[in-house]
Copies of this chain bind each other. A is one copy, B any other.
């Protein structure tokens, strides 16, 4: 049982059908949780027959996988559009944290649902979004290698990525003002971990 999309929608009509299905899946996932996501419900909410759903997605899993992929791509786009511009590492870190926060803010509820509601084994595909952040982070740190406290940059990434991810999820549950305070604290944590004299 593969979860590859069944056919690429050529006509405009088809594309909007696929779109409506993913939108419906997202909405139900956010509001009723993973167990609420039934293929019939998704089709109904999308205003599409159940048969049409199965023309584009071979099974329920494929629906979730496609939704995750689309969400990840959106996040990547947001993230890459905000790549740090300064040469100062401290400023770069601040900007990166801000960018990640920004990326997570879009569809934050969907992000939470995707992470917490959907059983892990459903979403087996590699996490492209994570890869992107990792690449970004390494390309950020590499030039400053000599001023960094941790000698093992890979290890540092393995420490920082889940940390930042988790903390940003925590922050997203807070009000806007609290969130900003926390964002700065996250930046601070990262800089303390990476740099001396901070």
Partner of A163, one of B120, B155, B167: B167
Partner of A116, one of B120, B166, B188: B120
Q: Known contacts A33-B121, A35-B119: does B193 contact A181 (CB below 8 Å)? A: no
Q: Known contacts A192-B192, A193-B189, A193-B192: does B159 contact A34 (CB below 8 Å)? A: no
Task: Determine the distance from Cα of A128 to Cα of B167 in the docked complex, in whole angstroms.
Answer: 20
| Range of interface residues on A (Cβ < 8 Å) | 20 to 34
Residue numbers in B under 8 Å from A188 (CB-CB): 193
**Interface status of A47 (Cβ within 8 A of chain B):** no
**Interface status of A186 (Cβ within 8 A of chain B):** yes
**Interface status of A117 (Cβ within 8 A of chain B):** yes
**Interface status of A170 (Cβ within 8 A of chain B):** yes
Across the two chains, which residue of chain B brings its CB closest to A35?
B119
Q: Is the CB of A189 within 8 A of B117?
A: no
Report the minimal beta-carbon distance from A17 to chain B, rounded to whole angstroms.
18
Interfacial residues of chain A within 176-191, with CB under 8 A of chain B in the complex: 181-182, 185-186, 188-189
List of 9 A-B pairs having minimum Cβ-Cβ separation, nearest first: A116-B120, A166-B166, A162-B166, A192-B192, A163-B163, A117-B119, A189-B193, A33-B121, A192-B193
| Chain A residues within CB distance 8 Å of chain B | 33-35, 116-117, 119-121, 149-150, 155, 158-159, 162-163, 165-167, 169-170, 181-182, 185-186, 188-189, 192-193
Given A35-B119, A155-B182, A188-B193, 13 additional A-B pairs, CB 8 A: A33-B121, A116-B120, A119-B119, A155-B185, A158-B170, A159-B167, A159-B189, A162-B166, A162-B167, A162-B170, A165-B166, A166-B166, A189-B189
